Structure 1
């Protein structure tokens, strides 16, 4: 549909452009409302967990945060490797170009909200407008590097917590479902899409989904690492593709 719009007369194309820009701005306002309300829900969940389990649950939850966040950290580091190999940009240059987008990612936990800063960042690395304006938005919409691995890590952690042994076949099913479901997830904070993204994986692997409600209370912390890694990976992939297509100076 977007490519078809480019074939329209100028007046109609400009009208649709203004319409979709207005829709995008309205959705960003909606995201701000959700982010304003989300801490209240997370606090309520955390309060319930603390009242029932006390400090005994703190160690287990901290262990969960460290394990799942470390998976995202690996993806984040690999984005620097890909940028160096595929886009021929060093770690320092990539860090400077992505720093503003990563700051937005930390504060919003939303790749969508980070997109304007990501566009400016890849252009600062020398990526042309064609790749920055087409490849990068598609990457944000469809390519979530941390989705399959971090979502699967959550499911495996729940299985470990419940004492469930996972066979190789069950793990293979989990990998397949995680890869599919991540393409349908929205680019919003994990506290919004946490259950809908991970529950299908757990169901396919025969893992109870009830513990997900408990983990949702602390999803903000792993989600920061998730979003930062996704933003870096999206920028890295865009720069790599731009260089391979000759759209990078």
Structure 2
């Protein structure tokens, strides 16, 4: 029996928890609210992860660049492209999310008290610098943790051999946090069950209706980003044909959409970039780096729209400073945590925490995460291939004649 349950795909367990929780809420009504502590336990466990996970992951990401000058130049150039497209993805997500009324007339109550003090732009910048890094870690001040972690990573690289022990310790800490994250995320079906039983029991089935608009908003934003941002960079930065790029990228996009795994798509994306004329040496560098750090779908579009959706259903107004914090946090933190299992959920909890939105809202979208993850992954993988072509061409790593050859695209079935 237990072995059979273990063999069920994780996303199916989450969907089952969602359905069972909603069913219990419908049948038992307000009595189902006694199950809310199960959801609260899950939310508390997610909160527990954020500070140490962000710190270790970002330090490891910075130190991975090393001190090799040529590799460092190529790394920073690639990373700059990831950051640029991630920022644009956040802006697109915020724009699309703001234009669509995903929450409708529904307005839930939250036990969290959200202070509406809106600091000025200068104060936002000052608040990013931790006066006491240990206090920032203890209080979960994400932006301060990100800045401190980045500075620690840079300092470790500058110190060199003498800091190797600290580097090894933080890398080991990152691995421990990744494993702890895997363990905590196994609680997702139980947490979703408890929260959905509480929500439906308290507010009724009408709470589930806005999910269709939320999914639609994610897909619209992702397609805009893929077609116009990635296509535009191929056209104007690399001065190549976007049509040819998308034709050759299609097999990897299909694999990404069906598997919802950036790492699982690496064989397909590698062969696709080779068919575009990207050198094997650079492709072998940028694609794994992209699968680990480039998350426009997970770290840009998704948390931006999800934060707006959760704000709408809880009736919490967002100020311009909130939108700025969402964009900055989603872009910067995603680069450091993209390789973490379940990074989308971790990133969402980080983004919600920064702008003071209730984490209970995660339960609404956890069950449909698989549907969203398909387009998120397709966006991420397309961004990896675009970066390989655009940055590769600027470094003389792309054979333009090969890019324009009309060989048949590789079949996705051969790469799964």
Question: TM-score range with shorter-chain normalisation?
Answer: 0.7 to 0.9
Change in CA separation of 1:132 and 1:34 when aligned onto 2, cut-off 3 Å: farther
Q: Following TM superposition, by how much is the alpha carbon of 1:69 offset from its aligned partner in structure 2, in angstroms? A: 2.2
Matched, 1:242 2:242: no
What SS does structure 1 have at the residue aligned with 2:397? coil
Matched, 1:39 2:6: no
Matched, 1:150 2:282: no
CA distance in 2, matches of 1:68, 1:154: 9
Q: Following TM superposition, by how much is the alpha carbon of 1:236 offset from its aligned partner in structure 2, in angstroms? A: 0.5
Of 229, 232, 255, 1:104 maps to 255
The structure with the greater share of residues assigned to helix is 1
Matches within 5 A, 1:98-177: 98-146=249-297, 147-177=299-329
Residue-pair matches, total: 215
CA distance in 2, matches of 1:36, 1:79: 32
Matched, 1:213 2:359: no
What SS does structure 2 have at the residue aligned with 1:223? helix
CA distance in 2, matches of 1:170, 1:130: 41
What SS does structure 2 have at the residue aligned with 1:111? coil
Residue equivalent to 2:239: 88
TM-score in terms of structure 2 length: 0.48
Give the alignment's Cα RMSD to 1 decimal: 2.3
CA distance in 1, matches of 2:274, 2:303: 31
Residue equivalent to 1:200: 350
Q: Is the 8 A contact 2:270 2:287 kept in 1?
A: yes
Q: Is the 8 A contact 1:111 1:188 kept in 2?
A: no
Residue equivalent to 2:333: 181
Q: Is the 8 A contact 2:286 2:384 kept in 1?
A: no
Change in CA separation of 1:93 and 1:165 when aligned onto 2, cut-off 3 Å: same
Q: Is the 8 A contact 1:110 1:187 kept in 2?
A: no
Residue equivalent to 1:230: 380
Q: Is the 8 A contact 1:76 1:230 kept in 2?
A: no
User: Which one has a bigger Cα radius of gyration?
Assistant: 2
TM-score in terms of structure 1 length: 0.78
Change in CA separation of 1:166 and 1:202 when aligned onto 2, cut-off 3 Å: same
Gaps of 5+ in 1: 1-32
Change in CA separation of 1:79 and 1:188 when aligned onto 2, cut-off 3 Å: farther
CA distance in 2, matches of 1:158, 1:172: 17
Q: Following TM superposition, by how much is the alpha carbon of 1:140 offset from its aligned partner in structure 2, in angstroms? A: 2.1
Q: Is the 8 A contact 2:218 2:301 kept in 1?
A: no
Change in CA separation of 1:72 and 1:113 when aligned onto 2, cut-off 3 Å: same
Residue equivalent to 1:26: none
Q: Is the 8 A contact 2:293 2:339 kept in 1?
A: no
Per-residue deviation, residues 93-123 of structure 1 (Å, max 9, x unmatched):
2223212211111121111111111111111
Q: Is the 8 A contact 1:105 1:111 kept in 2?
A: yes
